[in-house]
Structure 1
Amino acid sequence: MAALPTTVHYPASFNDLNSNSSLLITSKAKLKFPNSPSNKTLAHTFHCIRGSNSVCSRRNVYVSNVLHRNREAICDQMNGTLHNLKRWFEFIRSIFPGGSWWNLSDSEHKIDGSTMAAKPLTVWKALRQMWVLVADEKWILCAAFVALTVAAVSEISMPGILTATVFSAQNGDMLVFYQNSQLLIWLCFTSGICSGLRSGCFAIANTILVKRLRETLYSSLLLQDISFFDKEAVGNLTSRISTDCQRLSHTIGNDIHLILRNIVQVTILGIGAFITLMTLSWPLALSSLAVCVLLSAIFLIYGQYQKKTALLAQDFTASANEVAQETLSLMRTVRAYGTEREEYQRFTHWLDKLAFVGMRESVACGIWTLSFNTLYRSTQVLAVLLGGISILSGSVSAEQLTKYVLYCEWLIYAAWRLQDNMSSLLQSVGACEKVFHLLHLPPSSEFLSKGVKLEKLSGSIEFVNVSFHYSSRKKVLILRKANFSIKANEVVAIVGTSGSGKSTLISLLLRLYEPTYGEIFIDGVPVEQMDIRWLRKNIGFVGQEPHLFHMDVKSNISYGYSRSIKQEEIEAAAKKAYAHEFISALPNGYDTIIDDNLLSGGQKQRIAIARALLRDPAILVLDEATSALDAESEGYIKEVLHSLKKNSKRTVIIIAQRLSTIEAADRILVMNDGQVVDSGRHRELLQRNGVYGRLFGIQTD
């Protein structure tokens, strides 16, 4: 390091160390480091005009400290530079093939840290599944394959005929020139017509594939257990149906048919060109073969990496869609709590992961393109050089070499298109791996077995030692040996604190879940032996939160009703639920399309009650159904429930937090910690001063 001239300027207070002396110091220092081209030397020249030796000594120490600090700062700067150089060197080393920069293992984990459970999907298995979806349209595929073969043969015949035509004109052979020209014209038209027919037929088949893929996937999802939807996010599933299936939109129409065409051309051209090449020059033949083998090896590595990145990209896209759907559907909550920035960060978190994978896939694609173009041009140069040497030696003619070069050019171009389409196919299969996994999920057992259908359902219910836990929380028991019975035509209320298992009882009764232990009987028949669809048609259910579809009011009330329904029946059900008046006041009455902002919570709840009443069920379940109603409407609903019970002979189960709703019930079941701890009428339970008495006291206070 070069010598550093240093001038030290002291603060004014330093001159006052000795009041009886005045000091003027001029300091010149040369700073060098050991183990460097220049050694450390320190030369100080002090000119003391007057003053004591102690003052000069103290000032000498001060100068040494300043120079020591300067030396440490320079050392720190050098260490920082070396550290940055080391980091750059490690980064450059990591981006080479096989380096840590290409590692995607950290990205293969989902939010909960668990690796994706789906087994890797091979291309052959994916193609077989695609064939099953389009097998009914075999005539389209047969026409496409015939047109493909004719077009491929026509295209690969052109280079040889074109060469013969050129050299026949050069040699003055007009008859051969005329015949070859006619043949070229016919091949041109044949190739064009068959290529258009081929593309059109494959495009039709591809449209059918995507349509049936979405239909089959949607059908598979509809037949899953409710526990499946407890684990899978809705945004993730909708992304599979829309985005992932769309990735296959050009698989048959573009990738597969071009792959088949190029396979035909590469096979015929490859064999012919290699034989011709061996006759011309065996070194040229072996060099071309080596280039093809090397390209295939590079493509195999790149193809597998591209398939993995495509799968990760679709998973991250699905996660981003899930966040966006959740945020936009809960925008009022987001605005109320001012969490726009947090939601933006949640969304960009997945976009960053998507960019992380996309960047590596793009670099890999660039390396593949670089390798192909370099080897491709090398093959051309070798062909010209070795071919030129063969011409100079007189072993081949210019016509033979020209024909070979044209065929070699066509062969390499076809090989490039083949590998490019294979790359696109691998990317599509990798992106849709989750879709094919969902397609083969077994349907819920309730849709496979046909159970018992009773002639008439009276509505008696019995729970015997029923225990239950959710599959996602196996250590937390929601119900603990629940035992109770409900007589036919009885109005029974179930009350308890939040989380005591009230709504879980109804889910088990509807067979949305199966009990972990114990059995449930309806009219003395175990529910697992009953026909599930028949059972649900005989149970009217109104949940805690009113969920209405984006349809007109009439369709929402008649939703799930099997037979044709008249307008008078719909209006009668609406009147019983005290919904007819406000429905009639809507812009289009019963034909008004429902959206989120059109109706209040109480109005939605009354439409849901009208839907349940229209079915005229043997068992009517109201799970907090009056929670969104005002006091007047709640009073009307209580009167309606009792009149229905007396006139139509049905079992009514009411789950309520507002105890005023269930005072007139025939019996009240009290739940606590997953068990039925008490039962009786309203006054009886108050006199016992148990859990029910405490709950009633809290509400009345």
Structure 2
Amino acid sequence: MISDNLLVIILFVEIITLVSGEIFSFCFLINCLVHVLVQLSEISIPHYLTATIFSAQSHEIAVFHRNVRHLIMICVTAGICSGLRGCCFGIANMILVKRMRETLYSSLLLQEISFFDGETVGDLTSRLGSDCQQVSRVIGNDLNLIMRNVLQGTGALIYLLILSWPLGVCTLVICSSLAAIMTVYGMYQKKTAKLIQEYAASANEVAQETFSLMRTVRVYGTEKQELKRYNHWLDKLAEVSLRQSAAYGVWNLTFNTLYHATQIIAVLVGGMYILAGHITAEKLTKFILYSEWLIYSTWWVGDNVSSLMQSVGASEKVFQLMDLLPSDQFISEGMALQKLQGHIEFVNVSFQYLSREMVPVLQHINLSVHPGEVVAIVGLSGSGKSTMVNLLLRLYEPTNGQILIDGVPLNELDTMWLRGRIGYVGQEPKLFRMDISSNIKYGCTRNIKQEDVEWAAKLAYAHDFITLLPNGYNTLVDDDLLSGGQKQRIAIARAILRDPTILILDEATSALDAESEHNVKGVLRSVRSDLSSRRTVIVIAHRLSTIQAADRIVVMDGGQIAEMGSHNELLHKNGLYARLTRRQTDAVV
């Protein structure tokens, strides 16, 4: 386990790295100078305040007026400097939050897909939101007040020792006790902060999942069940918060006890010193004011250190995520071919997920797809069809074997270059909350005109229904606005607009009606007949009627290739493909 002190040091190093720059350096330098000036001004206020009162009591008019002028000048200086200090800290805090969220978001975007398999959306968004805001308190609040009160407390202690070192030592002992209790309390706050962040992230995940599946919840009438799931995490949050409040109560009780003990000691011992003629009433008054100042400075340091420990607890996971190395796909310099032909080879490829290493998904796959060929992959659910596509898109890396593109291993190619030449339509296409035109253009790096967008939409048989929408191609995409089939046709248009060399359709007709499916078959026919830009097409489909015209059909079973051939050849073999075809025919009849 890393010690709390080391975690605080790491936190500050990370923050300095994040906010390093001219603006922050200027703000930090100004803050240091202003802090010193403010504390020198404020630490003098009790001295001149007491001197003013006793000079008035002694009828020393000239001394009284001089003290009043000094007091006014000090208060005005402290006020102006405090405002400047708050402004500079606010700017530094803004820079910190912005760069922290930007760095964390960038780090998350560049992770492997397998990373997101093990993380929940609610947890990651909680880190980006509340956790980053919690860490920002280090600059915006905690560090500001800690620096302020440390300087105040140090100045007050020095003044107390000058006034009366025996009384000063007594006050120092009480403050040391307060600091020890403060340290224990801060460590406890750090632990509870981590629990609160985890429970809050879990509650957010439940809420996000419920809202995204609200129709399913409503149809099955599971509102009370979802409320129970959410309340489970709220109860855990309440339990931790209750313990946190109890600890805070103990801390306040300790502070008030020691604070009043300081007053009693000052009055008793100071009164005896006055009676003995060792100090004056004016000095005792100054001592009491400065001792209260020292106690309150210690209390504020303790309170802000506990908040700092909360920030440390919240920051551990944030900085762990920020320090993750990007995927090799983004940092390795792969090669880009002069012209992509679209020849795909799977050479003895095997794969299993890291979370299920004992369950092979693909076993010894050998497959060659020639340029311009249309290859269909069929099989029962879980046979490994979509996994082959995921490996081809390099969302995952093969456990064994390799994939070649035009004779070059996939991991030696520039991944971003390759993906720019692949069109992909998934089984459940997801559209962004932007207008339809932008959704179709999404991911295209070349200059796209509106005519190109409409051309792709016509090829995907999406143009007609788009023009009937309230704002046509400028209509904002909403889950309630478009049907599943309409979303899928927009996704197909997006893939066509990229003018890809390799086109992958993973259950691209699953949400389409019979007429739309027939039209999409027309898209496949046009792709095959366009000799000027023939594409390599890989089609995954449960509807076997969709892929009967494919050049080859690959039948998967249990992560292996069971059969391969044309539609007629596989029917004559009377194997798995023929059995699947008969089942679908019987189901339709």
Displacement after TM superposition at 1:119 (Å): 9.4
Displacement after TM superposition at 1:178 (Å): 2.1
Show the 5 A alignment for 1:250-261: 250-261=137-148
Displacement after TM superposition at 1:476 (Å): 0.7
Amino acid across the alignment from 2:559: G
Amino acid across the alignment from 2:213: L
- Greater relative CO, 1 or 2 (CA 8 Å, sep 6+): 2
Between 650-659 and 396-405, report the one with greater CA deviation: 396-405
Displacement after TM superposition at 1:213 (Å): 1.1
Residue 36 of structure 2 corresponds to residue 153 of structure 1: no
Aligned to 2:471: 588
2:387 to 480, 484, 504: 504
Aligned to 2:319: 436
Displacement after TM superposition at 1:646 (Å): 2.5
Displacement after TM superposition at 1:272 (Å): 2.8
CA shift in 2, pair 1:317/1:216, >3 Å? same
Q: Deviations over 1:268-314 (max 9, x none)?
A: 22233134331xxx2x3443222112111111111000111011011
Residue 112 of structure 2 corresponds to residue 225 of structure 1: yes
Displacement after TM superposition at 1:249 (Å): 4.3
1:617 to 500, 505, 515: 500
Q: Deviations over 1:206-257 (max 9, x none)?
A: 1121111111111111011100111101111111111212223433222211
Aligned to 2:408: 525
Residue 272 of structure 2 corresponds to residue 385 of structure 1: no
Between 409-418 and 372-381, report the one with greater CA deviation: 409-418
Displacement after TM superposition at 1:622 (Å): 0.3
Between 544-553 and 402-411, report the one with greater CA deviation: 402-411
- Whether the aligned pair in 1 keeps the contact of 2:11 and 2:315 (CA below 8 Å) is no
Amino acid across the alignment from 1:624: E
Displacement after TM superposition at 1:357 (Å): 0.6
Q: Secondary structure at the match of 1:386?
A: helix
- Whether the aligned pair in 2 keeps the contact of 1:461 and 1:521 (CA below 8 Å) is yes
Amino acid across the alignment from 2:458: K
Between 403-412 and 576-585, report the one with greater CA deviation: 403-412
Aligned to 1:478: 361
Displacement after TM superposition at 1:577 (Å): 0.4
Residue 495 of structure 2 corresponds to residue 608 of structure 1: no
Q: Secondary structure at the match of 1:410?
A: helix
CA distance in 1, matches of 2:202, 2:502: 41
Q: Deviations over 1:307-340 (max 9, x none)?
A: 1101101110110010011011111111222212
CA distance in 2, matches of 1:565, 1:167: 82
Show the 5 A alignment for 1:222-371: 222-278=109-165, 282=166, 284-371=167-254
- Whether the aligned pair in 2 keeps the contact of 1:118 and 1:437 (CA below 8 Å) is no
CA shift in 2, pair 1:566/1:340, >3 Å? same
Aligned to 2:308: 425
Aligned to 1:178: 65
Aligned to 2:26: 139
CA distance in 2, matches of 1:182, 1:369: 38
Structure with higher helix content: 2
Aligned to 1:543: 426
What are the ranges of 5 or more consecutive residues in structure 2 without an aligned counterpart? none
Residue 449 of structure 2 corresponds to residue 566 of structure 1: yes
Aligned to 1:206: 93
1:690 to 571, 575, 579: 575
CA distance in 1, matches of 2:558, 2:482: 36
CA distance in 1, matches of 2:466, 2:548: 30
Aligned to 2:521: 638
Aligned to 2:540: 655
CA distance in 2, matches of 1:232, 1:669: 34
Displacement after TM superposition at 1:699 (Å): 0.8
Q: Secondary structure at the match of 2:509?
A: coil
Residue 82 of structure 2 corresponds to residue 195 of structure 1: yes
1:680 to 554, 565, 589: 565
CA distance in 2, matches of 1:164, 1:289: 24
CA distance in 2, matches of 1:140, 1:287: 38
Q: Secondary structure at the match of 1:480?
A: strand
- Whether the aligned pair in 1 keeps the contact of 2:342 and 2:406 (CA below 8 Å) is yes
- Whether the aligned pair in 1 keeps the contact of 2:426 and 2:505 (CA below 8 Å) is yes
Amino acid across the alignment from 2:477: I
CA distance in 2, matches of 1:623, 1:387: 86
Amino acid across the alignment from 1:651: T
CA distance in 2, matches of 1:609, 1:553: 13
Q: Secondary structure at the match of 2:442?
A: coil
- Whether the aligned pair in 2 keeps the contact of 1:118 and 1:434 (CA below 8 Å) is no
- Whether the aligned pair in 1 keeps the contact of 2:350 and 2:399 (CA below 8 Å) is yes
Residue 537 of structure 2 corresponds to residue 667 of structure 1: no
Aligned to 2:438: 555
CA distance in 2, matches of 1:495, 1:406: 84
- Whether the aligned pair in 2 keeps the contact of 1:312 and 1:431 (CA below 8 Å) is no
Amino acid across the alignment from 1:591: N
CA distance in 2, matches of 1:354, 1:432: 19
Displacement after TM superposition at 1:354 (Å): 0.5
Aligned to 2:102: 215
Report how many residues are paired: 581
Q: Secondary structure at the match of 2:354?
A: coil
Between 205-214 and 311-320, report the one with greater CA deviation: 205-214
Q: Secondary structure at the match of 1:248?
A: helix
- Whether the aligned pair in 1 keeps the contact of 2:425 and 2:505 (CA below 8 Å) is yes
Aligned to 1:127: 12
1:599 to 482, 490, 494: 482
Displacement after TM superposition at 1:632 (Å): 1.5
CA distance in 1, matches of 2:155, 2:528: 82
CA shift in 2, pair 1:266/1:119, >3 Å? closer
Q: TM-score normalised to the size of structure 2? A: 0.96
- Whether the aligned pair in 1 keeps the contact of 2:386 and 2:540 (CA below 8 Å) is yes
Q: Secondary structure at the match of 1:247?
A: helix
Displacement after TM superposition at 1:118 (Å): 10
**Matched residues, percent identical?**
60
CA distance in 1, matches of 2:444, 2:149: 55
CA shift in 2, pair 1:424/1:601, >3 Å? same
CA distance in 1, matches of 2:3, 2:103: 20
Show the 5 A alignment for 1:444-455: 444-455=327-338
CA distance in 1, matches of 2:176, 2:353: 55
Q: Secondary structure at the match of 2:350?
A: strand
Q: TM-score normalised to the size of structure 1? A: 0.81
Between 260-269 and 121-130, report the one with greater CA deviation: 121-130
Q: Secondary structure at the match of 1:678?
A: strand
Residue 50 of structure 2 corresponds to residue 163 of structure 1: yes
Displacement after TM superposition at 1:402 (Å): 1.7
CA distance in 2, matches of 1:541, 1:119: 48
CA distance in 1, matches of 2:242, 2:410: 55
Amino acid across the alignment from 2:153: V
